[in-house]
């Protein structure tokens, strides 16, 4: 079943087109990779579908419903969740309190229910020491907390913006397995932005490739990675 789709989604900043005419869709249970060279518009694309910024034109549909101009907090309540590239744990809140936020506001649970749900989420991700101050967490724990925070929205669509960055090989492997389990168990549609192609290859069922804001290729990773246009985009970006 299609959870999320865009049609001709476009966003220009002062004449610069960051996302140009992108149409795509994501299905239940699918892990989709969103790749492309630096500055290709991947984060802008996520910002558009999650409602952090509004498109110049085009359309965003969530479960058949038009959400193109819906504010971010309402989309969060409907079931679109995301993490951020730059992570800012909430100061003065403990690990579990950070996770509770989504539960409290996106699901409107009371504090007690939210705490119980957050504790369950943390446990499923292997997080312990829930009352710790966030300044005492390891990188892996912070990444997991960030995922737990997004999952607290109880979403059906989840975007992960470079959650693997900064992790070592073992940690990456652990987190990949967890994301796969979560997506399967919760029947999520997951969109993943990553720079490490090994992660994309292992984690995703399908990828879309953005270059200069345009969608230039789409399909399973093995197939897309042999696409001459994609190779050129990456080489061009590197040169």
The footprint of another protein (CB under 8 A) covers 50-52, 71-73, 76-77, 81-82, 84, 88, 90-93, 97, 100-102, 104-107, 111, 133, 149-150, 152-153
Minimum distance of another protein from residue 102's CB (angstroms): 4
Q: Which is nearer to another protein, 1 or 111 (CB)?
A: 111
Min. distance of Cβ 131 from another protein in angstroms? 12
Nearer to another protein, 4 or 224 (CB): 4
Tell me the three state secondary structure of residue 198.
helix
32 bridge partner residues: 191, 206
Please state, as a whole number, how many other Cβ atoms lie within 10 Å of the Cβ of residue 213. Answer: 23
Tell me the CA distances in angstroms from 49 to 25, 117, 123, one per residue in order: 11, 26, 29
Shortest distance in whole angstroms from residue 110 CB to another protein: 9
Cβ closest to another protein, residue 81 vs residue 215: 81
Instruction: Please say which residue, 4 or 104, places its beta carbon nearer to another protein.
Output: 104
In this complex, which beta carbon is closest to another protein, that of residue 136 or of residue 226? Answer: 136
Nearest approach in angstroms of CB 69 to another protein is 13
Taking the complex as a whole, the smallest distance from the CB of residue 211 to another protein amounts, in Å, to: 26
Sign of torsion, CA 134 136 137 139? Answer: positive
Lay out the sheet containing 189-193: strands in order across.
80-82, 157-161, 189-193, 31-35, 206-211, 214-219
């Amino acid at each position: 079943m299609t959870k999320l789709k865009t049609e001709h989604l476009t966003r220009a900043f002062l004449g610069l087109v960051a996302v140009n005419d992108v149409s795509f869709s994501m299905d239940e249970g699918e892990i989709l990779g969103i790749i492309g060279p630096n500055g290709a518009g991947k984060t802008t694309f996520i910002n558009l579908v999650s409602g952090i910024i509004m498109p110049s034109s085009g359309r965003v549909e969530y479960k058949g419903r038009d959400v193109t101009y819906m504010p971010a907090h309402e989309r969060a309540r409907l079931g679109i969740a995301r993490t951020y590239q730059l992570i800012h744990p909430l100061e003065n809140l403990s690990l579990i309190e950070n996770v509770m936020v989504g539960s409290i506001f996106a699901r409107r649970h009371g504090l007690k229910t939210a705490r119980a749900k957050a504790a369950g989420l943390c446990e499923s991700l292997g997080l312990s020491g829930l009352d710790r101050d966030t300044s005492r967490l390891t990188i892996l724990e912070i990444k997991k907390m960030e995922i737990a925070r997004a999952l607290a929205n109880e979403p059906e669509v989840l975007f992960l913006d470079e959650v693997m960055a900064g992790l070592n090989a073992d940690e990456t492997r652990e987190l990949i397995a967890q994301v796969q389990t979560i997506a399967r168990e919760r029947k999520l549609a997951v969109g993943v932005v990553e720079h490490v192609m090994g992660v994309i290859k292992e984690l995703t069922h399908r990828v879309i490739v953005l270059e200069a804001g345009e969608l230039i290729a789409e399909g399973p990773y093995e197939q897309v990675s042999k696409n001459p246009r994609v190779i050129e985009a990456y080489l061009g970006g590197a040169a």
